[in-house]
C-alpha cells in the first residue's frame, strides 16, 4: 500500500511539473506572440510610411516630368536625343517642324545628309530645306552614351545682321563718295586742261606728247580710284574664275615699267592655273606696290610662295621708311590714311580682296627698316612647292 501511494505521489509530482513547464512555455509563447505582433505592427507602420513617401516621390517626379515636357514643348528650339548608336530616341515638336518628318528611330547622320545643308560662311550652322538657318550644338549626357542636339533658328538674327551690314555699307559708301569727290575732281580737271591744250595747232610735238602722257597718267589714277571704290562696295562678293599666275605677274611687271627704283619678282609656285578674281588680285597687289613706291622705297620685291594649309602668299617687301606700330593697328580701316591726298581705301580694298579669297593680309614693319605686306590667299589651287622658270625683272631680288 505504501508503495502504491508512493507511485501515485510521484506521478502527481510529475504531472505538476509538466503543468508548470507547460504554463511557463505558454507564458513565453504568449510573450513572444505579443512581441511578434508589436514588431508586425511596427513594420506595417514603417511600410505604410515608406509607401506614402514613395507615392509622394512618384507624384513629385510625375509633376517634374510633366513640367519638363511642357518646358521642352515650349522651347523655341528643336531638341533631339540620340542613343549611343546615333538613333533618335526622343525629340520635341520643334524638331519635327524643322525637319518635317517623323524622327524617332531614324539615324541622325542620315537626317543631316538629306535635310541640313552646310552654310559656307559658318561651319556650325546648317540650312533647312525651307531656307531657314539653324545653329547646331551638341551636349553629352552624364553616361557619355547619349547625346542631346539643339537646333536654334538663327534666320531672323542673320537677316538683321545682313541688314546692319548693308546699312553700314551704305553709310561707308556715302562717306567714301564724299571723300573721293575732290580726289576725282582734281585729276579730272587736270586731264581736261591738258586735253584742251592739245587742240591748239601751234603746240609743239614734244609738248603734245607730254600732255598726252599727263592725260593718260590722270586717267589711270581715276581708273584705280573707281576700281577701289567698286571692290570696296562689293564687300567680298567677287566672281571667281581660272586665270594664269604667270600672266598676272607679267601684268605687274608691265605696270611697274615707269618705276625709277628696282622692282623684282620671285615666283616659287609651280602651278600656273589658279581660281580667283584676277583683276581684284592685280589691283590689290598693285596697291601694295604703289604704296611702297609712294613711301620712297628704292627697292621693291614681290615673292610668291606656298603658305600653310594649301594657301598662296604674295609678299611685297620694300626698303622704305617703315611703319610705326600705332599706324599698323589702323592700316586696314576704311578711310584711314596718312597721305595728304589719299582716300584711305587702298589697304581696305586689299583686306577685302584677301577675305573674298578666304585669306587675310598682315603687315610686318619696323620704322627705318622697310615694310612687308603678306597677302595670304586660301584655296586658290592645289600645287607643289618649287622654283618657277623665272620671271622678268628690272632689278635684283630683295
CA 224 – CA 232 distance, rounded (Å): 12
Across the range 201-223, mean pLDDT stands at 78
**Do 313 and 288 form a contact (C-beta atoms < 8 A)?**
no
Q: Tell whether 207 and 164 lie within a shared domain.
A: yes
Q: Identify the domain boundary among 153, 173, 188.
A: 153
Q: Tell whether 200 and 262 lie within a shared domain.
A: no
Q: Tell whether 277 and 392 lie within a shared domain.
A: yes
Q: Tell whether 131 and 47 lie within a shared domain.
A: no
CATH of residue 194's domain is 1.10.287
Across the range 117-134, mean pLDDT stands at 75
Query: Domain residues for 54?
Result: 1-73
167 vs 123, residue with greater confidence: 167
**Do 352 and 262 form a contact (C-beta atoms < 8 A)?**
no
For residue 394, list its beta bridge partners: none
Q: Tell whether 203 and 246 lie within a shared domain.
A: no
- Residue 383 pLDDT exceeds 50: no
Q: Tell whether 118 and 177 lie within a shared domain.
A: no
Q: Tell whether 39 and 126 lie within a shared domain.
A: no
pLDDT-derived band at 385 (thresholds 50, 70, 90) equals very low
pLDDT at 219: 80
Which of 115, 97, 100, 108 has its CA nearest to residue 149? Answer: 108
Helix axes 278-294, 245-255, angle to 10 degrees: 30
Across the range 105-113, mean pLDDT stands at 82
Q: Identify the domain boundary among 135, 153, 171.
A: 153
- Residue 396 pLDDT exceeds 50: no
| Phi-psi domain of 80 (left: phi exceeds 0; alpha: psi -120 through 50; beta: other) | beta
Question: Which residue do the cell numbers 610705326 mark?
Answer: 324
For residue 119, list its beta bridge partners: 122
CA 97 – CA 93 distance, rounded (Å): 6
Across the range 257-267, mean pLDDT stands at 85
Pairing of strands 360-365, 371-377: antiparallel
CATH of residue 129's domain is 3.30.450.20
Q: Tell whether 273 and 355 lie within a shared domain.
A: yes
For residue 275, list its beta bridge partners: 242
What average pLDDT does the chain have? 77
Give me the number of domains the chain comprises: 4
pLDDT at 300: 92
- Residue 237 pLDDT exceeds 80: no
Q: How do residues 339-356 score in pLDDT, each as one tens digit?
A: 655 556 678 778 888 888
pLDDT at 389: 37
Q: Tell whether 253 and 317 lie within a shared domain.
A: yes
pLDDT-derived band at 382 (thresholds 50, 70, 90) equals very low
Q: Tell whether 257 and 390 lie within a shared domain.
A: yes
pLDDT at 357: 81
CATH of residue 299's domain is 3.30.565.10
Local structure of 327: helix, strand or coil: helix
pLDDT-derived band at 304 (thresholds 50, 70, 90) equals very high
Q: Tell whether 246 and 379 lie within a shared domain.
A: yes
pLDDT at 336: 58
Residues 6+ away with beta carbon under 8 Å from 124: 135, 136, 137
Q: Identify the domain boundary among 14, 46, 73.
A: 73
Q: Tell whether 205 and 274 lie within a shared domain.
A: no
Amino acid at each position: 500500500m505504501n508503495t502504491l501511494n508512493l507511485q501515485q505521489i510521484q506521478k502527481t509530482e510529475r504531472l505538476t511539473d509538466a503543468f508548470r513547464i507547460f504554463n511557463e512555455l505558454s507564458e513565453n509563447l504568449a510573450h513572444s506572440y505579443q512581441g511578434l505582433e508589436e514588431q508586425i505592427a511596427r513594420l506595417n507602420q514603417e511600410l505604410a510610411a515608406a509607401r506614402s513617401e514613395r507615392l509622394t516621390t512618384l507624384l513629385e517626379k510625375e509633376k517634374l516630368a510633366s513640367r519638363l515636357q511642357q518646358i521642352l514643348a515650349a522651347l523655341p528650339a528643336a531638341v533631339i536625343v540620340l542613343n549611343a548608336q546615333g538613333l533618335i530616341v526622343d525629340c520635341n515638336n520643334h524638331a519635327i517642324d524643322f525637319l518635317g518628318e517623323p524622327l524617332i528611330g531614324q539615324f541622325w547622320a542620315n537626317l543631316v545628309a538629306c535635310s541640313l545643308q552646310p552654310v559656307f560662311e559658318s561651319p556650325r550652322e546648317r540650312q533647312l530645306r525651307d531656307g531657314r538657318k539653324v545653329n547646331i550644338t551638341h551636349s553629352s549626357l552624364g553616361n557619355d552614351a547619349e547625346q542631346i542636339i539643339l537646333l536654334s533658328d538663327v534666320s531672323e538674327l542673320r537677316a538683321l545682321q545682313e541688314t546692319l551690314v548693308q546699312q553700314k555699307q551704305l553709310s561707308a559708301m556715302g562717306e567714301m563718295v564724299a571723300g573721293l569727290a575732290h580726289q576725282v575732281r582734281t585729276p579730272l580737271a587736270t586731264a581736261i586742261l591738258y586735253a584742251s591744250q592739245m587742240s591748239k595747232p601751234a603746240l609743239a610735238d614734244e609738248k603734245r606728247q607730254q600732255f598726252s602722257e599727263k592725260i593718260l597718267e590722270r586717267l589711270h589714277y581715276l581708273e584705280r580710284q573707281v576700281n577701289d571704290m567698286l571692290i570696296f562696295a562689293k564687300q567680298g562678293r567677287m566672281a571667281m574664275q581660272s586665270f594664269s599666275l604667270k600672266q598676272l605677274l607679267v601684268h605687274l611687271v608691265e605696270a611697274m615699267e615707269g618705276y625709277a627704283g628696282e622692282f623684282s619678282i620671285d615666283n616659287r609656285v609651280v602651278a600656273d592655273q589658279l581660281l580667283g578674281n584676277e583683276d581684284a588680285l592685280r589691283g590689290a597687289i598693285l596697291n601694295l606696290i604703289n604704296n611702297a613706291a609712294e613711301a620712297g622705297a628704292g627697292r621693291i620685291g614681290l615673292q610668291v610662295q606656298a603658305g600653310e594649309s594649301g594657301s598662296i602668299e604674295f609678299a611685297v617687301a620694300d626698303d622704305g621708311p617703315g611703319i610705326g606700330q600705332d599706324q599698323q593697328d589702323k592700316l586696314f580701316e576704311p578711310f584711314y590714311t596718312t597721305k595728304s591726298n589719299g582716300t584711305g581705301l587702298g589697304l581696305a580694298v586689299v583686306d577685302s580682296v584677301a577675305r573674298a579669297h578666304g585669306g587675310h593680309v598682315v603687315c610686318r614693319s619696323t620704322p627705318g627698316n622697310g615694310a612687308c605686306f603678306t597677302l595670304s590667299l586660301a584655296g586658290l589651287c592645289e600645287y607643289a612647292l618649287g622654283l618657277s622658270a623665272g620671271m622678268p625683272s628690272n632689278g635684283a631680288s630683295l
